[in-house]
Amino acid sequence: MPRRTPAEKAAARNRVIADRNTVINRYGQGDSLRAIARTYDVHAPWLAARLTRWGVEVRAHGGHPTSHTHVHRDGDTGAVTALRCPDPRCGRVTRVERDRLGEHTVPASGTRCALSEAQVQDRAHTAAGPAR
């Protein structure tokens, strides 16, 4: 696999800087440095330094996320209403309607995510009844 050129690395870093608010929000919602770094094709240590420079307190390595935003459920029925897209390039919280992910775009590229409208299977809800 060929190495990236300095121009390619700079372009990836500039995408992070341009999406500063999105990056900070994702990290604040509990996304890992590695997941966000993969989305933007940058190294996690560089991203940690950038977050620190922006005044964001970086969690300790292996620390727990600040919130559990991977699956959102209806309080009455327990049905999944939204979840974080499992595609590591995306990671966007996306609504779920009729057991399918809603259409959404990849934050880094602005293109339609390959998992848009993918089937969602709620094993916890169907196997053991509604989640509490």
Which residue would you say has higher pLDDT here, 67 or 105?
105
Which residue would you say has higher pLDDT here, 99 or 43?
43
Mean pLDDT taken over the chain = 81
Please say if the pLDDT value at position 57 is more than 60. yes
Q: What's the pLDDT score for residue 10?
A: 95
- What pLDDT, in 10s, does the model give residues 109-122? 788 888 888 888 77
Q: What's the pLDDT score for residue 67?
A: 43
Q: What's the pLDDT score for residue 99?
A: 84
Please say if the pLDDT value at position 90 is more than 70. yes
Please say if the pLDDT value at position 66 is more than 50. no
Give residue 34's identity as a one-letter amino acid code.
R
Q: What is the pTM of this model?
A: 0.50
Query: Buried (b) or exposed (e) across 19-35, using 16+ Cβ within 10 A?
Result: beebbbebbebbbbbeb
Q: What are phi and psi of 89, to 5 degrees?
A: -80, -15
Contact 41, 94 (CB under 8 A): no
Rounded CA separation 9/92 (Å) = 23
Contact 39, 90 (CB under 8 A): yes
Residue 95: which pLDDT band, with cuts at 50, 70 and 90?
A: confident
